[in-house]
Structure 1
Amino acid sequence: MDAQDFSRLAREISPEDRLRYARLSREQAYALSPEEKLRFFFSIHVKHAKLMTVKKKIDRCLRKFSEERIITLIGPTGAGKSAFAEYFLGAELASEDTGKVPFILIKVPALGRRTIPWSGFYRAILHGGHEPLIDSKRASLIQDGRLQTVLASQKASLESLYGAVVSMLRNRGTVLLALDEAFHLLRSGDPVVVMDAIKSMADAAS
C-alpha cells in the first residue's frame, strides 16, 4: 500500500468502527485480518493529558442530576476535538443494548449559505441515531380548524422531523448529542434561533 492508500483507509474509518475497535481485547486485535489490523491501528488515538482533564470535566456535566445541558468544546484546528468526541466520549457511552443510542455525533458541514437547511440537519441527526422510516414520520397540527398530519417527506416537514428527533432522543436514551463544527450553524443562521433549537434538543436528551 502507498501513502494514498493509507490516507484513504484512515478516512474511511467511521465513528462506529472506532467504537467497535475500542472494545476489542488484545487477543481479538491480534486475530484480525491484515487489513483490519491496519484499520485498528489507524483508529488508535493517544490519550493527551489535557484531553483527559477535559474528559473529567465533561463527565461531571453528564452526570444524571447535572444542570448542564449545552457543553462547548473550543480549540484550534487539529487539536483533537473531533477525535476526542468520536473515540473517548463515544466509546465510554457506547451501549450493548441495540435499542439504545446514548451517543450521537453529527458533523455539521460548512454550508456556504446564509440560511440553514433545517430539514437536512434534522435528518442527519435521525440517521446518526439509526432511526428507521424517516420519511414516514408524522407531525400533527391544527390548520383551518381541523387536525391534520404532515409527513416528513412533504414540503412542510420541519414539524414532523423535529418531533421525530425529540422523540428519538428520549426513547433511545441519548445522553450526548455531539455537533462537530457547530460554529457553522451559528455562522449560517440567526444565533438566537439556532440556540433555541439546540436547547430544545438538549432538554430532550436524558
Structure 2
Amino acid sequence: MDRIKLSEVDLIEIDRKITHQQRLYYNAMPKEMVYALDDIEKIRYFCAVRVRHRNQVIAQKYMLKSYMDMTDSRIMAIVGPSGVGKSAFVDEIVRAQFAPAQLGDLPYIYVDALADGSKIGQFSDLMPEILRAGGDIAIADKLTTDTTDGKMRSAKVRKVARQHVRKLCQQRRVRVLVLDEIIHVLRNALEEDHEKKRHEIHDALKSLASDVSGMLCLVGDVELYQVLSYGQILRRADFVYLARYKEDEENAARAALRESGKTGQFFPPVEGYVRKLKSAWPCRQVPPFENVIPQIIKSTVGLPGPIKRLLARCLVEQLWNGGEWKPEFFVDSVWPRAVVKKLESEVKEGEKFIKDNDWDVSVLDEQEQLDATVALTLSLGGSEQPPKPDVAGGKERGRDDH
C-alpha cells in the first residue's frame, strides 16, 4: 500500500462502520487467510476484533445476575469514562445472552442516541429511533414526515409514537431495550431550571422500563448518576461502573501472581488484554507489546479503547513499512502529551465525582462487610476465612470475542 493511503486511514471511522456480521466473518477467518489480506483489510480485521477484559467479565456477571433476580430493578445503568468499552460490552452481551425464545420475538432493541442535538431535541424524539431499531421503519418515517429535522413537534404525534413503542415492545416480547449514549438526550435535565423536565424524563424512563419484560439498559458516562439520582428511579435501578485500569493495580496483580506461582498461566488485567489483542495480529511479525505495559497504561490512561487504538496505530506503521516491525513505531504511535493529559483530566473528574458522592462506597463499613461474609460462610458450613478476591484477572485464552 502506498504512503498516502495509509496516512488517510481513519481508525475510528473504520471501527464505526464494521457490522456485527463482519465481526463474525473476521472472527472465523483462518490466520493464513488473514495474512493474505491487503493492508486496509488487515486494519479493518484488527479493528473488528473484540476481546473481553477483566472488568467487562466482572460487569457481565453482575448485569446478568441483576437481570435474573426477581426484584424491582428494571433499569440498568452501564456507566464509565469514554473508551472503557461500555458500548462494545453491552452490544456483545445482549447479542450473546438474549436469543429469540420463539418465532417473531425481538429479544432486544439497541438504539444509539446520537449526540447531534439538531436531530434529537428532547426525550420524545427518541421514540422514532426506537421504532426504527425495532424494525417499524414505515411507522417511524410516517411520524416524522412533516418535519425537516426528524423532531416531532406535535404533542399528539409524540403521544402516538409512545403508544407505538409500547405496542412494539409488548407484541414482540422485547426483553432488553438499550439506549446508548443516552446522556446526550438527558443532559438538559441536569439544568437547574428544568426541574419539571427532569420529572418528565424520570416518568418516561419508568414507563419505558415497564414496557419491556426484562430491563431498560442505559449506557453513558458518570453524568448518568446525576440524572438518575431521584428516589423512584434509584429504587428501580442498578449501576454497573466500568473502571479504567491503573498501573499500581497492574503491579499488585503481577506481584500476587508471582507469590502464588501462577506466572505464565495467568496475567494481570492489562497484560492479559494486550496478549489477546496480539493473538489477532494480522502480520506474521508480532511486536512484543507485553514488554511495555507501563508505557501503554500511561499513554492511554488505562482505557481499553485507547489501548486497542494505540496498537492499531502501531499496525498502520508496520504495514506502512511493508509488514516489518521497528521498535520506534510504538513511540511514534503514542498520542501527544496534551491529548493524554486532557483525557486523563476528564477521567479523573468523573472518578472524583463518584468518590465524593459515595457511589463506590458500600453503606456497610469494612468490619460490617467482614462480619456479614463470615456469618454467611458459617451458615453454609464453610471455613471462617472469607474468600479472597481474584485480583489478578482471568487466564489468557486467546481471543474471547463473538
The alignment's TM-score, normalised by the length of structure 1, stands at 0.73
**Structure 1 pair 165–118 and aligned structure 2 pair: CA distance change class (3 A):** same
Verify: 1:2 aligned to 2:9, yes or no. no
Residue identity in the other structure for 1:103:
Y
Verify: 1:105 aligned to 2:98, yes or no. no
Give the Cα separation in 1 of the matches to 2:107 and 2:172.
Answer: 7
Residue identity in the other structure for 2:204:
A
**How far 1:152 moved relative to its partner?**
6.9
1:199 corresponds to: 206
Contact 1:101 1:174 in 2 (8 A): yes
Q: For each residue in 1:80-127, what CA deviation from the matched residue of structure 2 results, as whole angstroms up to 9, or x when unmatched? A: 1111112233333244967322122222233558x9434531001111
**Structure 1 pair 97–22 and aligned structure 2 pair: CA distance change class (3 A):** farther
Alignment of 1:21-40 (within 5 A): 28-30=28-30, 34=37, 39-40=44-45
Contact 2:123 2:186 in 1 (8 A): no
2:169 corresponds to: 169
Which range moves more in the overlay, 163-172 or 104-113? 104-113
**How far 1:168 moved relative to its partner?**
0.9
1:147 corresponds to: none
Q: For each residue in 1:115-167, what CA deviation from the matched residue of structure 2 results, as whole angstroms up to 9, or x when unmatched? A: 94345310011111112421587xxxxxxxxxxxxx77574311110011111
Q: For each residue in 1:46-99, what CA deviation from the matched residue of structure 2 results, as whole angstroms up to 9, or x when unmatched? A: 211111111111101222734310011111111111111122333332449673
SS class of match (2:177)? strand
1:48 corresponds to: 53
SS class of match (2:115)? coil
Match of 1:122 among 122, 127, 134: 127
Q: Which structure has the bigger radius of gyration?
A: 2
SS class of match (2:29)? helix
**Structure 1 pair 71–3 and aligned structure 2 pair: CA distance change class (3 A):** farther
Contact 2:132 2:140 in 1 (8 A): no
Larger RCO: 1 or 2 (CA < 8 Å, sep 6+): 2
Equivalent pairs, count: 187
Give the Cα separation in 2 of the matches to 1:112 and 1:106.
Answer: 16
Contact 2:22 2:48 in 1 (8 A): yes
List runs of 5+ in structure 2 lacking aligned partners: 147-153, 190-196, 214-402
Give the Cα separation in 2 of the matches to 1:162 and 1:177.
Answer: 14
**Structure 1 pair 91–158 and aligned structure 2 pair: CA distance change class (3 A):** same
Give the Cα separation in 1 of the matches to 2:141 and 2:10.
Answer: 40
**How far 1:43 moved relative to its partner?**
2.4
Query: Greater share of strand residues, 1 or 2?
Result: 1
Contact 1:106 1:124 in 2 (8 A): yes
Give the Cα separation in 1 of the matches to 2:131 and 2:94.
Answer: 19
2:182 corresponds to: 182
Give the Cα separation in 2 of the matches to 1:165 and 1:121.
Answer: 10
Calculate the aligned-residue CA RMSD, in Å: 3.3
Which range moves more in the overlay, 70-79 or 1-10? 1-10
1:144 corresponds to: none
Task: Calculate percent identity across the aligned residue pairs.
Answer: 26
Contact 1:109 1:184 in 2 (8 A): yes
The alignment's TM-score, normalised by the length of structure 2, stands at 0.40
Contact 1:185 1:194 in 2 (8 A): no
Give the Cα separation in 2 of the matches to 1:40 and 1:168.
Answer: 35
**Structure 1 pair 136–186 and aligned structure 2 pair: CA distance change class (3 A):** closer
